[in-house]
Each structure stands twice: as C-alpha cells, then as structure tokens.
Amino acid sequence: MTILVIAEHNNASLKDDTAKVVAAATAIGGDIEILVAGANCSDAATAAAALTGVSKVIVADHACYEHQLAENLGLLVADLGKNYSHVLAAASTTGKNFLPRVAALLDVAQISDVIRVDSADTFGRPFYAGNAIATVKSTDSIKLLTIRTSAFDSVDATGSAAVESSDAVHDAGLSTFVSAELTKSERPELGSAKIIVSGGRGMQNGENFAMLETLADKLGAGVGASRAAVDAGFVPNDMQVGQTGKIVAPDLYIAVGISGAIQHLAGMKDSKVIVAINKDPEAPIFQVADYGLEADLFNAIPELNEKL
C-alpha cells in the first residue's frame, strides 16, 4: 500500500496543510510519497522531504503547474495516481478544485472532507453542514480523499526523504492564469491560527472590524467573519468561516455579533473553547458557547481591548 499526498504550497514554501494531510496518511498506514507540482518549487519540495513518515518526494517542476490549474494538475495526478492505493489532498480550494477531476479520470469516487480515518478503506466525513457524520467505506481500487486539515495535527519535520523529479508535462490547454489578488495580512491564517476573532452582521459595517483587528493583534489571533457579514459586504469572502467557507478548530474562537446560523456553526463548532458576545440573549450561538456574554459589542470589545 503506497499513499500519494499532493502538496499544498505556493512554490516558494510548503503550507502546513501538507503536514496535516501526511498525518491523515500516517493514520491510514503504508508508504507515504508526496507530489510537489509547481514551477520553481524546489524549496517547497525540500520542506516536504523533511516531513516525518515520508519516504519519497516527487517534484513536477514546470510552468504549466505554477498556478495549480486543475485541468493540468488533474491530468498529472491521474497519471501518477493510478499506481497508488490512496491519493490524498487537503480540502482546500486547491484540493477541492483538482481532485474531483482526478476521480473522474480514474473512474473512482472521491471522499470529501475526511475528519476521521477508521481503517485503510473506511473514513468519517461530515455532511448536512456538519449536522451528521457519515462513516463511508470505499470499494474502489484507488481511494481519493480530501482531508479536512483542522481535524488532524501536523506531523513533525524530522525526516529526510529522497527527492526525485518527474518530467511529465500535462498541459491540457484549456485554461490560463490571468491574475491573483491575494489578501496580505500579518495575522495568522484562519486555518492555522490558535485564536480566531470573528465578526457577524452585528458589526454593522466593515470599518467596525477595526475593533476586532485590534483585539486579534493583542491575542495574536486571526480574524474571521460569518457569511452574513460577507454577504453584507463588510469583509471579503476569504474571511468567511462556515459550511461553505473555511472550517476552523482553534483553541479559542470568539464570536462577536454572530447569531449562530447552522452554516456558521458548521465551520467553528469543533473549536476547543468558544466565546460568544451578543446582545440578543436568544441568539443560537449561546447554545454552543462555553462562555457567553450578553452585551452590546460596541461596549464590550473596546473594554476587552483596554483590559487585555
């Protein structure tokens, strides 16, 4: 049994998601190899080779893989993947984009958002916005999984795997990269932040998020938002925590002015400690919060900022 993990990276560096997917692969058991597909991505490959438990890193370094275009990556991973028992990727916007193409090309099912490994063919995954957890058994010869990284702890970096290069060039010629507008922030990414401060519709406008940013900076936290805040145009969508946004599980999640709709809870209810600050005592968020404070956030947040 050999497992292929597709690295999550930006060419220059490896994302921590990869170490979490390797943890899921370790739980399955067997040899673990990593594919780093990108352009000028040798630094990411070196970092992948250091992950504990990895026996080999395959580097496909070509311009057609630079932006992780699903059409090209799908062909490459389908070509390589047919020799493996499992192919794993993070349930990120990259993994979700290319892995179903691989599944279709290999004519096998994909299991999305795996949160639990029971055995080499049986996995747990949430559906219905996390209101139900299915135990799913795969009968396919190759098992394709996207891994919900918030459910796994990163493996260490004590290894020294061999790095091999692949000269396979799969340019489907269907798509081209035009531009990227990536949010630049000094704060931790939502996926890896130990503390997250999130705002909802109660914030009233985007400017008021400055209060939450002040709080986040005091705590070394990331800043998130509910779908209601995104829909209202207060903040960009990449801040969205929820069923259709980011799924997070930090040590501390502070929900400010968030009512607690089903789809928001789906994105944060596995956080270790949840704090809710809301002026509506009936808000459903209080039903999942460890500590609830019924208060006007426009008083409570400045007070927190002053006292912390």
Q: Is 73 in the site for other proteins (CB under 8 A)?
A: no
Q: Which residues 15-54 are close enough to bind other proteins by CB under 8 A?
A: none
Q: Which is nearer to other proteins, 53 or 146 (CB)?
A: 146
CA distances from 227 to 179, 208, 230, 239 (A): 25, 16, 5, 9
46: its two tokens: 């070196």
CA proximity to 24, closest of 8, 13, 12, 38: 8
Q: Which is nearer to other proteins, 60 or 301 (CB)?
A: 301
Q: Is 186 in the site for other proteins (CB under 8 A)?
A: no
Closest approach of other proteins to the CB of residue 289, in Å: 6
Q: Is 98 in the site for other proteins (CB under 8 A)?
A: yes
Q: Is 287 in the site for other proteins (CB under 8 A)?
A: yes
Q: Which is nearer to other proteins, 50 or 219 (CB)?
A: 219
* 8 Å CB contact between 22 and 16: no
Q: Is 296 in the site for other proteins (CB under 8 A)?
A: no
Which stretch in 21-29, 36-44, 51-59, 284-292 sits in contact with other proteins by CB under 8 A? 284-292
Which residue of 76, 77, 113, 256 would you call a contact of other proteins, by CB under 8 A?
113
Return the H-helix or E-strand segment holding 86: strand 86-90
Residue 50 phi, psi dihedral angles, 5° rounding: -85, -10
Binding track over 247-266 against other proteins, x by CB under 8 A: ----xx--------xxx---
Query: Over the range 37-49, which residues count as b (16 or more CB within 10 Å of their CB) and which as e?
Result: bbeebeebbebbb
Q: Is 292 in the site for other proteins (CB under 8 A)?
A: yes
The Cα–Cα gap between 200 and 189 comes to 18
Closest approach of other proteins to the CB of residue 188, in Å: 13
Q: Is 126 in the site for other proteins (CB under 8 A)?
A: yes
CA proximity to 103, closest of 124, 88, 115: 88
CA proximity to 41, closest of 189, 179, 160, 165: 165
Return the H-helix or E-strand segment holding 155: none
Closest approach of other proteins to the CB of residue 100, in Å: 4
